[in-house]
Copies of this chain bind each other. A is one copy, B any other.
């Protein structure tokens, strides 16, 4: 019998400003986004994926990411990141003051083509160039988002060996550079034991100083909190969630929002895990986010009487 002792600390990475906002089709005024982000920061969120530097034609909602970065880049307590699909995105991110670049490549060829419109090998080639660029930029960080690490909306279940093939190539490019590798359950179809298995196998193969692990999940199949906890107990030190469960992936049919930050926080708080985030204040931010026109949210904690959340 294993005893699941809670970890001392988990980094909760708030992705509502990226994965969440981009799921909303109608344009959102930048100042509304900024108000939501401010509410998240007021709740104690420090790691924020604030947007993405992608073609505004592909995802118009992300066109104001630079403005949002400018509004928050001067806060020394914040660790802002932005998602990029290619070298151009990485350069734009760095030019706008982003110090943590989230480079996304899907394990599944079909999803990578749908998501960033090129093959996995092309994405990896560009990753090499991004890494070269990051080596020249002191104080920058690399986060590698491995999309469809468990399941692909087009090709179904993804094995750990498939993840390993992409990760292995990527880590060869990364070399000795510090990196956070996120296995992303893009569709929410991963199950807890699959998450445990992938983390166990890949950490065994690729453990080294400076390599940290993260999990990015969706709650579509109701596994969100369980998957996150299983990832944490198998070595993930950071988990991506979206406040209010806002979101989905416009390129993954059927996917609903990221696991709600408040749901995961509730689970972690019950074990005394330090996240730095204040749950009642986060719920206030969730209320703001849930009021955004056109957003789909999926939060359990917002449905219970507020005085019961403590």
Tell me the A residues contacting B by CB distance below 8 Å.
Answer: 1-4, 6, 187, 189-194, 196, 200, 219-226, 229-230, 233-235, 254, 256, 260, 263, 266-267, 269-273, 299-301, 303-305, 308
Q: How many copies does the complex hold?
A: 2
Contact A4 B260, beta carbon cutoff 8 Å: no
Tell me which residues across on chain B come within 8 A of A301, comparing CB atoms.
Answer: 221-222
CA distance A200 to B223 in the complex (A): 24
Dominant SS among interface residues on chain A: loop
Q: Residue of B at shortest CB range from A193? A: B271
Nearest to A264 among chain B residues (CB) is B222
Query: Smallest CB-CB separation from A2: which chain B residue?
Result: B2
Which residues of chain B come closer than 8 Å to A224, judged between CB atoms? 222
Considering the complex, give the chain B residue whose CB is closest to the CB of A253.
B305
Asked if B192 and A270 make an inter-chain contact with CB atoms under 8 angstroms apart, the answer reads yes
Other contacts beyond A3-B234, A221-B301: 13, CB < 8 A: A1-B234, A2-B3, A187-B308, A191-B266, A191-B270, A192-B229, A196-B271, A219-B222, A220-B300, A222-B299, A225-B225, A226-B229, A256-B303
Which B residues touch A299, using CB under 8 A? 222
A-B contacts, 28 of them at CB < 8 A, read A1-B233, A2-B233, A3-B200, A3-B234, A4-B193, A4-B234, A6-B193, A191-B266, A191-B267, A191-B271, A193-B267, A193-B270, A193-B271, A196-B271, A219-B222, A219-B300, A221-B263, A221-B300, A221-B301, A221-B304, A222-B225, A222-B266, A222-B300, A222-B301, A223-B266, A225-B226, A226-B226, A254-B304
